[in-house]
Amino acid sequence: MYRSHPLSASLRSIRHRPYFRSVLYGCLVVSSVYLLYRFVNPTYSIPIYSTSSWTDPFSGDLAESYVPAVETSADVWLGRAKSVKLSFLHGYHGYERYAQPNDEIRPLSNDYRNNFNGWGVTMYDSLDTMILMGLENEYNRAMPFIEKTVFSLPDGEFAPFFETIIRYLGGLLSAYALRKDDILLRRAEELAEKLDNVFATPSGFPLFGVNPNGQVVGPEIGILAEIASLQLEYTTLAKFTGKKRWWDRANTVIRALDNADLHKTGGMFPIRWNLTSAQPFDTHLSVGAQADSTHEYLLKQYLLTAKTDKANLIMYLRATTHIIAELLMLSPKRHLLYVTDTTFSTNEHKGRPSHTFEHLSCFLPGLLALGAHTLPLDDLASLGIDLNEIGNESMFGRSGKSYKLLAGYNLKTLHMWAAEGLAQTCWLSYADMPTGLGPDEMVMYTVGDDRWGKTVDGYKEGGGYLWMDAIEKWKSSGARGAPPGVGDKTPVIYTEAERLRGTLRTRDYSIRKSGYLLRPETLESLYLLWRTTGNDKWRDRGWKIFESIERHTKTPSGYASLRSVEILPAVKDDDMPSYFFAETLKYLYLMFIEKDPIPLDEWVFNTEAHPLPVIRWTQAEKEAFDIQ
């Protein structure tokens, strides 16, 4: 889910203060004592890693496999799940004590803030996590507030529609799905009613913001993530209430996306859209900020409708084909697979790759894994789909070549490789840091055309980059395992001196935004990689990240965003976003409990990690809603 954030921390002044070194040593002593304590604590075990066969053959001595030598017992996983639950309680009790019924707690000052309408967003975002964790008391204390929230705003203020839908409406619908408390559905529908004027555009795409009194606000040019991340919520609302009007809201957006002219962008949706004409306004492509959840909702709407709305599937296949062929890149030395965006452009010709890699984009490996897990990607013909027909050069110009290229591969394997490789890089962006937490934005080093999926005639040894058909040659030579960019790699942690010198390039990237905003995307992907592959290494990594969150972000009343992941001791910001409860802790919890209460073939997570049940329309609903 896209969220902009004003933070872009540069802590140069702090780095050079003379007392910094002694603070660092103090911190080392404290953390050693802490580690010793954790080590003798019986619910805690440090996984032991050893090398094994699944390595990146092209990464030379940087490659090392991470597979636990000792299997972690079920008891230990249970203890870990319990630790996550305790963290939830710690943060939520801080919110209840200092901030309720306002939006979010400020975990350093114990102040609060109203950044999402002031209706108590932390409660709404937390409800379903409480239900899943079995936190009856907290749930029961929240419900009277939920019941009496007044969904109103002063004149001239506006609810940001996108954030309000994914957090408030998504939270209410998910809690209702998990526990049929009627008040939840009543509040959900009332909220949707009060926001409904936002759709007063010729295209049916929503405007940016709306006041429950009916006033709306927003430019004619809308942002992709903000105008097309409502399909899951409104479809679910239609199912739960039996009302066609909510389905129409979702369906109008889906049909508009399906009818859009994408000949300039290879079948992928760009960021800016004209809300009058329902057509793209630019050719700026991204899977990160301002775009992410729309790509996500293509696959998820198909899954939510029990794989019946095929237009969404085809749009998903087009988007991922373009992403895999054009936006996946390989870094020069470590062969880190990453996804980038293009520079702004409204031209016929797309912008150039920017080589930035955002934390927000780390949902993509999980999405690709979910797609590979749930779709017959290796047999699209069984669905009557031919990649060469849904995209080709007569439709998309030069970009159309990607379809032919990918049609030559086992698409399931290819998507899974991409998922694993991207998840490796997201994980490494954490493991490379002294805090064990990943930065918000990196800029990857480049040696020119770094596209992972480009085909050329041969693999140029020493050239620093590798191409798809080189992968094929390598495979047919009898090598086993996955292609470059996919396997495990060894973290590279700069020492304090190396970091300050600032000249080392062994990590293959520099950091542009060094904060960690308690974001969920990497954990979300680790969760989905674990669920879809069954490989414990992914949840082991989840546990390591959780330990880092505990170690570096905890405050007496909650958890705080970090200003920089590169500095010890970590410097905190007075900020605890509601998505930490909705997403970050939920995915961690689901990763560690043994029984899966949210099977991926029965539930679909919205972009705020609120699970919604798969919908099977009855014949009567199909007729009433006019669903083909």
Q: Cβ 163 to ligand NAG, closest distance in Å?
A: 24
Nearer to ligand NAG, 106 or 264 (CB): 264
Nearer to ligand NAG, 73 or 388 (CB): 388
Q: Cβ 29 to ligand NAG, closest distance in Å?
A: 60
Nearer to ligand NAG, 400 or 436 (CB): 400
402: three-class secondary structure by DSSP: helix
CB atoms within 10 A of CB 32: 10
Hey, what amino acid is at 97? R
Q: Which stretch binds ligand NAG (CB under 6 A): 146-154, 387-395, 547-555, 565-573?
A: 387-395
Burial class (CB in 10 A: 0-12, 13-18, 19+), 68: middle
| 203 close to 275: Cβ distance less than 8 angstroms | yes
> Rounded to the nearest 5°, which phi and psi values hold at 442?
-120, 155
| 568 close to 23: Cβ distance less than 8 angstroms | no
Q: Which stretch binds ligand NAG (CB under 6 A): 123-131, 158-166, 273-281, 594-602?
A: 273-281
**Site membership for ligand NAG, residue 221 (CB under 6 A):** yes
Q: Which of 110, 197, 215, 274 binds ligand NAG (CB under 6 A)?
A: 274
Q: Are strands 337-339 and 49-50 parallel, antiparallel or unpaired?
A: unpaired
Q: Binders of ligand NAG among 97-116, rule CB under 6 A?
A: none
Burial class (CB in 10 A: 0-12, 13-18, 19+), 582: buried
Nearer to ligand NAG, 82 or 401 (CB): 401
**Site membership for ligand NAG, residue 384 (CB under 6 A):** no
> Is 435 assigned to a binding site?
no
Q: Which residue has the tokens 């009060």?
A: 194
**Site membership for ligand NAG, residue 395 (CB under 6 A):** yes
Element (H, E) at 223: strand 221-223
In 99-157, which ranges are continuous DSSP H helix? 121-133, 136-148
Whole-angstrom distance, CA of residue 576 vs CA of residue 596 = 28
Hey, what amino acid is at 373? H
What burial letters (b/e) apply to 504-521, b meaning 16+ CB within 10 Å?
eeebbbebebbbbbbbbb
Q: Binders of ligand NAG among 416-445, rule CB under 6 A?
A: none
Q: What angle do CA 591, 558, 526 make, to 5 degrees?
A: 20
Whole-angstrom distance, CA of residue 451 vs CA of residue 339 = 10
Nearer to ligand NAG, 389 or 623 (CB): 389
Nearer to ligand NAG, 398 or 473 (CB): 398
**Site membership for ligand NAG, residue 601 (CB under 6 A):** no
Question: Side-chain half-sphere of 489: how many Cα atoms within 13 Å?
Answer: 35
In 432-535, which ranges are continuous DSSP H helix? 468-476, 496-501, 521-533
Q: What angle do CA 608, 611, 612 make, to 5 degrees?
A: 115
**Site membership for ligand NAG, residue 388 (CB under 6 A):** yes
**Site membership for ligand NAG, residue 258 (CB under 6 A):** no
**Site membership for ligand NAG, residue 394 (CB under 6 A):** yes
Q: Which of 45, 65, 72, 277 binds ligand NAG (CB under 6 A)?
A: 277
Q: Which of 75, 136, 193, 220 binds ligand NAG (CB under 6 A)?
A: 220
Q: Cβ 261 to ligand NAG, closest distance in Å?
A: 12
**Site membership for ligand NAG, residue 397 (CB under 6 A):** no
Cα 49 from chain centroid (whole Å): 27
Nearer to ligand NAG, 35 or 221 (CB): 221
Nearer to ligand NAG, 215 or 274 (CB): 274
Q: Cβ 311 to ligand NAG, closest distance in Å?
A: 14
Residues forming a β-bridge with 112: 105
Q: Which stretch binds ligand NAG (CB under 6 A): 92-100, 269-277, 335-343, 456-464?
A: 269-277
**Site membership for ligand NAG, residue 31 (CB under 6 A):** no
Nearer to ligand NAG, 67 or 395 (CB): 395
**Site membership for ligand NAG, residue 392 (CB under 6 A):** yes
CB atoms within 10 A of CB 529: 30
Q: Which two tokens stand for residue 415?
A: 């998507």
What burial letters (b/e) apply to 34-58, b meaning 16+ CB within 10 Å?
eeeebeeeeebbebebeeeebbbeb
Nearer to ligand NAG, 355 or 404 (CB): 404
Q: How many residues bind ligand NAG (CB under 6 A)?
A: 10
Q: Which of 136, 261, 389, 602 binds ligand NAG (CB under 6 A)?
A: 389
Nearer to ligand NAG, 46 or 221 (CB): 221
Nearer to ligand NAG, 101 or 280 (CB): 280
**Site membership for ligand NAG, residue 310 (CB under 6 A):** no
Q: Cβ 385 to ligand NAG, closest distance in Å?
A: 11
Own/partner contacts of 386-394, CB < 8 Å, gap of 24 or more, are 387/317, 387/321, 387/411, 390/267, 390/314, 390/317, 390/318, 391/266, 391/267, 391/318, 391/321
**Site membership for ligand NAG, residue 276 (CB under 6 A):** yes
Q: Cβ 393 to ligand NAG, closest distance in Å?
A: 8
Q: How many residues does the chain have?
A: 628
Whole-angstrom distance, CA of residue 329 vs CA of residue 180 = 46
Q: Cβ 275 to ligand NAG, closest distance in Å?
A: 8
Q: Which stretch binds ligand NAG (CB under 6 A): 384-392, 415-423, 571-579, 617-625?
A: 384-392
**Site membership for ligand NAG, residue 346 (CB under 6 A):** no
Positions at the binding site for Ca(2+): 607
- Chain residues in the site for ligand NAG (CB under 6 A): 220-221, 274, 276-277, 388-389, 392, 394-395
